[in-house]
Amino acid sequence: MSKKITVPPKPQSFSPSQEAWLHRSENPDTANGVAEEPLVRLTFDIPESLHRRIKINCAQKGIKRMTTELRRILNQHFPA
């Protein structure tokens, strides 16, 4: 005896709230999930010991994401 399961088709359009969720900002540092300007990715290598020090320092300050602290430092060093 086999059981047949019907899978509904994918929706062709999304509700406004679904669209907002799909296109939300990935920047946790902005208010209301809306980025003030687009983000770009910057990738560079650092020594493991420096990475560890940054991570420990952020944890001690209660900062959950290292990127938050690194953006703050970069903005302080390179003001607009």
pLDDT in tens, 7-32: 877 767 777 777 776 666 555 555 44
Q: Give the model's pLDDT for residue 9.
A: 78
Q: Give the model's pLDDT for residue 22.
A: 64
Query: At which residue do the structure tokens 């290598």 appear?
Result: 45
- For the chain, give the secondary structure using H, E and C: CCCCCCCCCCCCCCCHHHHHHHCCCCCCCCHHHCCCCCCCCCCCCCCHHHHHHHHHHHHHHCCCCHHHHHHHHHHHHCCC
For 41, the token pair is: 């990715």
pTM: 0.54
- Identity at 15, one-letter amino acid code: S
